[in-house]
Amino acid sequence: MKQLLRSKEAGILLIIVLLSLLITLKNPVFLTSSNLLDILKNNTVPGIVAMGMLLVIITGGIDVSVGAMTAAVTVIIGKYMVHAGGNLLTVFLLGCGSGAILGAINGFFVAKLDIPPIVVTLGTMSIINGGMLYYTGGSWITNIPKWFIDFGRIKLLGIPVQILFLVGAAVLTHWVLRYTLIGRGVFAVGGNPIAAVRAGFHKDKILLFLYSYLGFMVGLAAVVHTSIMRQVDPNAFFSFEMTVIAAVVLGGANVLGGEGSVFGTILGVMMLAVIQNGLILAWIPTYWQQIVVGAIILLAVSLDVMQNRRRQDQLTRIDVAGEAPFGG
């Protein structure tokens, strides 16, 4: 507990609690389980993608093509279901598979050619988005088969199935990051890339892996999204990447690399979600909403940093003779 309070995530958790309290005071409906489940369900898609983005950001990279990739995968599975039918398994395989392939393309350029990730992904964003919209003309894919829609309606113990996928993605990512060598390699590359190679890591394999992993998450998110929306809008993910990146960074991941956690990222996603949800629940007038969101983000991140700084400053570096340890 003490460790949690001192951790990097504590600040953002505190802010979320504070916000929730404020909203609840204005409108108690906020704290009902059905509203909370709604918030969760409606943020599973950015949440799942954020899990992949987390890995990329830990290595000091960034992927701005996730919006385009997610849209492309929704189109791929949408077309597939409408034209070929398929079943749940094949849809997941196709979605995650095509996502992973798109991610691997990014990974290839980053890992093998050493091109800065932002350049690669800005490029592939234009290419994927352009290609996908050229091909679909932006038309929606409706007529998603009923079996798939039914799948999207499944609830287990009252919990929408989509939330379980988010939980699954989070658990998997946590496990990868904490208990696999490649996951630790992600941190190592983010902390000191030269040292990572010298320690024996294959940096290019790690990079290739994590961009593909992000692609895989994007694919999963695309399937989950389609199961919620029941149709495919190729334009639905315009500027989605910003939401995802914001969530991960809000959650304490360091854009310079080396730091970040699954728990923090989930908190980052939730913070954005709570703000969005609260805007309407707290009856904030439309034309004020963006001002409120911007101000909250600025305040929250500032508070977080200031609090961290104070803690750093008070840190005991030296066990000074005659001074109580950690003391006083």
Partner 1 sequence: MENNKKEYMLCGVLAIIVIIMSILSPDRFLSLYNLQTMAFQLPEFGIIALGMMIVILTGGINLSITSGSALAGIMAAFILSGRVMVGASIGMSIALAIGVILVTSVLLGLLNGFVVAYIGVTPILVTLGSKTLYEGISMWLTKGGAISNFPEAYYWFGNESIIGIPVPMIIFIIIALITYVLLEKTPWGTRVYMVGSNPTAAVFSGINIKRVLMQVYVYSALMAGLAGVIMLSRYNSAKVDLGSSYLLQSVAAVVLGGTNIAGGSGKVFGTVIAVAILQVISSGLNILGVNRFIIDMITGAILIAVLTLNIISNRRESRRKSDETVLVAENRG
Partner 2 sequence: QAKEYTILVMPKLVGIPYFNASETGALQAGKDLGVNVIYAGPTQADAAAQVKMIEDYISRGVDAIAVAPNDPAALTPVLRRAKQRGILVMDWDTPADKSVVELSVHQIDDKVYGEHNWDLLVEAMGTDEGEYAIITGGLAAANLNTWIDHGLAYAKEKYPNLKLVTERIPSDEKQQEAYRKTLDLLRAYPNLKGIIGISTPAPIGAAQAVEERGLQDKVAVVGTALPNDSAPYLKSGALKVSTLWDPAKLGYLTVALAVKRLNGEEVYDGMEISNVGVIDVWDDGITVIMGPPTDFTADNVDQFDF
Partner 3 sequence: MAEERFLQMEDLSKTYPGVKALDKINMEIRAGEVHALVGENGAGKSTLIKILAGAEIPDPGGRILIDGEPVSFAHPLEALRRRIAVTYQDLSLFPNLSVVENITISRKIEEGARHIDWREMRSTAQDALAKLDLDIDLTTRLSDLSLANQQLVAIARALVHDARLLILDEPTSSLSAEEVNALFRVISTLKAQGMSILFISHKLDEVFAISDRITVLRDGQHVGTYLREELDEEKLISLMVGRKIRFMQYEKRSVGKPLLEVKHLHKKGNFADISFTLHQGEILGLTGLVGAGRTEVAQAIFGRIIPDSGQIYLRGKEMKITSTTQAVQAGIAYIPESRQTQGLFLGKTLADNLSVTRLDSLANQFGIIRIDLLKDYVGKWIQRLSIRPPYPKMLIDQFSGGNQQKAILAKWLAYEPTVLIVDEPTNGIDVGAKSEIHQLLRELADQGIGIIMISSELPEVLAVCDRILVMRRGRVAAEFPKDDATQEKIMNAAILGGDARQDVS
Ligand X SMILES: Nc1ncnc2c1ncn2[C@@H]1O[C@H](COP(=O)(O)OP(=O)(O)OP(=O)(O)O)[C@@H](O)[C@H]1O
Looking at beta carbons only, is 254 or 276 nearer to ligand X?
A: 254
Using the rule CB under 6 A, is 321 a contact of ligand X? Answer: no
21-60: contacts with ligand X (CB under 6 A): none
Residues in contact with partner 2 by CB under 8 A are: 27, 29, 35, 38, 42, 45, 129-130, 133-134, 137-140, 142, 225, 228-231, 233-236, 238, 276-277, 279-281, 283, 285-287
Helix or strand holding residue 159 (H, E): strand 159-160
Collapsed DSSP state (helix, strand, coil) of residue 114: coil
Size, binding site for ligand X by CB under 6 A? 3
Looking at beta carbons only, is 34 or 319 nearer to partner 3?
A: 319
Left (φ > 0), alpha (ψ -120 to 50) or beta: where does 205 sit? alpha
Question: Of partner 2, partner 3, partner 1, none, which one sits near residue 219, judging by CB under 5 to 8 A according to partner kind?
Answer: none
Q: How far apart are CA 279 and CA 258, in angstroms?
A: 34
Query: Of 13-21, 109-117, 198-206, 312-320, which part binds ligand X (CB under 6 A)?
Result: 312-320
Q: Which of these, 132, 112, 123, 114, lies nearest to 63 by C-alpha position?
A: 123
Q: Which of these, 235, 266, 287, lies nearest to 166 by C-alpha position?
A: 266
Question: Of partner 1, ligand X, partner 2, none, which one sits near residue 119, judging by CB under 5 to 8 A according to partner kind?
Answer: partner 1
C-alpha distances (whole Å) from 150 to each of 147, 165, 168, 226 are 5, 16, 20, 12
Q: Of 156, 194, 315, 324, which lies in the binding site for ligand X, with binding defined by CB under 6 A?
A: 315
- Do the Cβ atoms of 186 and 53 come closer than 8 Å? no
Looking at beta carbons only, is 67 or 251 nearer to partner 2?
A: 67
Q: How far apart are CA 218 and CA 224, in angstroms?
A: 10
| Dihedral angle of Cα 158, 164, 170, 173, to the nearest 10 degrees | 160
Using the rule CB under 6 A, is 194 a contact of ligand X? Answer: no
DSSP at 231:
S
Binding site for partner 1 (CB under 8 A): 60, 64, 109, 113-116, 118-120, 122-127, 129-131, 133-134, 242, 245-246, 249-250, 254-256, 287-295, 297-298, 301-302, 304-306, 309
